[in-house]
Amino acid sequence: MKNELGGLKSRGRQLLGALLKASKESFTVIEATQILNISGRYASSLLAKWTKRGWVHRIRRGLYIPVPLQSTSTEVTPEEPWLIAHKLFSPCYIGGWTAAHHWGLTEQLFNSIYVMTVKKIHQREQNLNGVTFKVKTILPKKIFGTQFIWSGKVKIAISDPTKTVIDGLNDPAVFGGIRMVADVLSAYIHSKEFNQKKLLEYAKMMENSAIYKRLGFLITLIPFDNAITISSACKSNLKSGYSQLDPSTAGDRLETQWNLWVPKSFNIKDQE
């Protein structure tokens, strides 16, 4: 069969073994050149040959991962899409709806991996071997509040529960809309991960007054003992000017105490 795993001669096995041992789960042509101390042309030739014989899999031009030993075909989907995201978009972190699901703040499943990166990415949605990545470019100073998860030999950053919530308040689109932001916020404040001090610290670090407007408005709709404390903190940090509760949907009702335009489609009773 065309896709059956092929054999390697002694020299080829040595080179492939050295590459897999020294690389961190995935590798580029340049990294293969450096690790094996060979020319770029020879590295490209070897990787093309190994891909054809089923020992490595090309994620995109110049980027490869090993094919799992138990695989019987070269047609594989990456087992660690977070690792691929780290490789493609670093400096970055896993965030948005992906982080919310990871921390148990939502049970909703999404078909894509949400990535926050400082790289300027023109194609915001990318599909690589059956894995879809949704990518948002952010300022370097907004990469904070992360934790690390190990994937083999690689340390992958993911927004911690508090930063995950703040990112949603900063841009509801990273959760798919304001309704899910409200749901995630409610799950967060009723979880063991809730940290009021950190929540307000992160909000300040983001330097976006709209976060306080959305947080202040939403927190009063959620049954919660410390709602008044957080609400007061948000009011003290409000700035002039009006913001949209959800930038994707123009608001038609002005909540004057929060300088916030709220769409009629956002029913307060839905959040009670």
Question: By the 8 A CB rule, do 134 and 124 touch?
Answer: yes
- How does pLDDT run across 211-268, given as a tens digit for each residue? 999 999 999 999 888 889 999 999 999 998 999 999 999 999 999 999 999 998 886 5
Asked whether the predicted pLDDT for residue 166 surpasses 70, the reply is yes
Residue by residue, DSSP assigns 208-269 as -HHHHHHHHHHHTTS--TTHHHHHHHHHHT--SS-EESBTTB---EEETTTTEEE-TTS-GG
Tracing tokens 């065309």 back to the chain, one arrives at: 2
Confidence of residue 152 (pLDDT cuts 50, 70, 90): low
Residue 51 — pLDDT band, cuts 50, 70, 90? confident
Residue 83 has pLDDT above 50, yes or no: yes
Please give the pLDDT value at position 66: 77
Q: What is the per-residue DSSP string for 148-171?
A: EEEETTEEEEEE-HHHHHHHHHH-
SS3 call for 24: strand
Structure confidence at residue 7 (pLDDT):
59
Nearest to 42 by CA among 5, 12, 2: 12
How sure is the predictor about 20, in pLDDT bands with cuts at 50, 70 and 90? confident
Q: What is the pLDDT of residue 24?
A: 65
Contact criterion met (CB below 8 Å) for 175 and 168: yes
Whole-angstrom Cα distance, residue 203 to residue 125?
27
How confident is residue 84, by pLDDT bands cut at 50, 70 and 90?
confident
Rounded to whole angstroms, what are the CA distances from 162 to 75, 201, 258? 38, 10, 22
Reported confidence tier of residue 70, pLDDT bands at 50, 70, 90: very low
User: What is the pLDDT averaged over residues 16-36?
Assistant: 85
Q: Which of 5-19, 79-93, 135-149, 164-178 has the lowest mean pLDDT?
A: 5-19
Structure tokens at 267: 């029913």
For the beta carbon of residue 13, count every other beta carbon within 10 angstroms. Answer: 12
Give the span between the Cα atoms of 19 and 259, in whole angstroms.
57
Flag the least confident range among 65-69, 128-132, 215-219. Answer: 65-69
Confidence of residue 10 (pLDDT cuts 50, 70, 90): confident
Q: In what order do the strands lie in the sheet with 260-262?
A: 243-244, 260-262, 253-255
- Rounded CA gap, 84 and 41, in Å? 24
Q: Given this model, what pLDDT does residue 73 score?
A: 45
- What's the rounded Cα separation, in Å, for the pair 128 and 131? 5
Highest-confidence segment of 2-16, 54-68, 165-179: 165-179
> What distance in Å separates the CA atoms of residue 207 and residue 50, rounded to the nearest whole number?
49
Helices (H) and strands (E) in the chain, counts: 10, 12
Q: 0.85 cut: is pTM over it?
A: no
**3-class secondary structure, 141:** helix
pLDDT at 97: 96
